[in-house]
Structure 1
Amino acid sequence: MSIFLLKRKALGHVPCGSSPSSGGSSTTTQELPGYAQPTAQDILTKSTDLANSGVPQYTGQTYAQANDTQTNAIQGMTNLANSGGVGGQVSGSVANTANNGGNNYGTVQATQATAAQNPYATAVNPYTQQMVNAANQQTTQAFNQNAMNINSQFTNSGAFGGSAYQNAANNANTTLANALANNSANMYGNAYNQAVSAASSNAALATQASLANQSANLQADSLNSSNYNTAQGRALTAASLAPTLDANTLSQLNAAYTGGTALQTNDQNALNAQYQQWYQAAMAPYENLGVEESGLSAALGNGAQGVTNSTQSASPFAVTSGLTQSGVGLLGSLAQGGYL
């Protein structure tokens, strides 16, 4: 039966049936009570409007996406896994230290000492010969004066030229020669001794500088060894701390992700609340129509029919179901009452 026929019957414009009589035929019409006709008309009008308007569609957001806190935490975990964390970095450092004898430890260079040398130790004194000549000249002058005295004495005594004179002259000459030789030997010997002394001093200074350099080298080697061992120890210590640092980092990332999940849950609850408000508003016309149907059915003596309680649904197609139930309730009531 079309809704238009239903409408006409509801308004009492269509005969419901006929019965024969002895004098001919008569027609009886079953009509809705006058008080029910406006309500029936209103129900039909509203049902038609709702059917023509289509099923309500929710266009708002229904799912809360992952927030920045969650995304950053996930990215941090990914980076930690890909990089090996602090443990991976320290392990590389430890390997580098083991393979290269320390990792950027300080190297001490020993300062080398240089002995101060006497520049005249190997030089020949250019004034030695002059000094020898001057000394010999003085000696010669003294000899000549002594020779003159000898000549004068022997002349005055009348023995000049005799054997005694000759002996005295020979002795004087020998004395002169010895004096000249001694002067040269002493002066050249002193010059030589001074050169030897200077050379000995230079050698002693060089020995002292060499010993000082050896001591400085030993100290530098000792410091370098200590620095090397310190670098190795620090690398191993860092390696032992790495797992704890990585665990702390992972714990912080997990805590951040948990906090972000709590924020996401709160956002999802807000979206759910928004959808519930929309749903209640969208279902209001259908619920009101159901209440109106139930009122009409009760007035016609068929009890409460077609009342629909609206609750949140994941799909707005529940609207169609409610509308169908409402229509079935109305049609059933009219049929039971003999109006259809």
Structure 2
Amino acid sequence: MAILITGGCGYIGSHTAVELKKAGYDIVILDNYYNSKPEALRRIEELTQSDIPFYECDIRDADGLKRIFANHSIDAVIHFAGLKAVGESVAKPLVYYDNNVAGTVTLCQVMAELGCKRMVFSSSATVYGMNNPSPLGEDMPTGAVTNPYGRTKYIIEEILKDTCKSDPEWSVVCLRYFNPIGAHESGRIGEDPNGIPNNLMPYISQVAIGKLEKLSVFGNDYDTPDGTGIRDYIHVVDLAYGHVCAVKYALLHTGVEAINLGTGVGYSVLDLVNAFEKANNVKVPFEIVERRPGDIAVCYSEPSKAERMLGWKAVRNIEDMCRDSWRWQSDNPKGFE
């Protein structure tokens, strides 16, 4: 019983690969190394003490995908592969629609042709858009998204719903992530962004280690206790284990489910900075700058469906997230290089 992980060398993919192996699954990894590095695969193998079948392949390459399915008995696919930078998606929408949406359609066509109809899809809380109040629940309307990246996630969810409706043999779990941070407790794998980070935690860690001068906090005039934006931060290892639970569910059921993966607790930007400084005894200089267009004041999950349906609940706290992020950053100042 093998699970194919697309984008399995990326931040969340690599942690999920480790958790799947720990749970006793055989895995096959596909990645095109667009936003990841070969060293990540080596470290996954080191942590799992195993040789992992790997294919450098793009999800838009139908023949390449068919070769993987010919070489391995694949029971389910966890689909992470996709471009993920909001700003870049605004500048290059066609690249995002081609890679994320067309790539997923190609993957699903190959899966259907070869009789593998179980998928866990890496979706995002961004599908809830700007108009829903937190806590965000799975029954709320989706689609009022503000950028092409978020729209690709929404469109893919709709494509997967339509696919399940048209063919009752399909089983899909769309996992809507909130804000994954942290790293594996070994410090061997973690988030390794190309260039200047888009996400808050790698930015904080790079300021703390001296790679970047200071953190820019986008706005301190939101309607929140300290004026900075509130988000639902979740430890990446908790998130990864959520995929193990979702695969187990997908193998036993049919139809489509959307499920939040979050803690249900919101922390502000300054809460995170303070927790990071306290957990690691370091300083993170910051300055307040203008709000970013499209940012909302508060976003956190209602996570009870995951516990009810998957038996999953986040167990790591904000201190764990900060400590593990810093261990990864300080042990690997240049990431996977």
Larger Rg belongs to: 1
- TM (norm. structure 1) is 0.12
- TM (norm. structure 2) is 0.12
* Structure with the largest fraction of helix: 1
Q: Which has the higher contact order (CA 8 A, sep 6+)?
A: 1
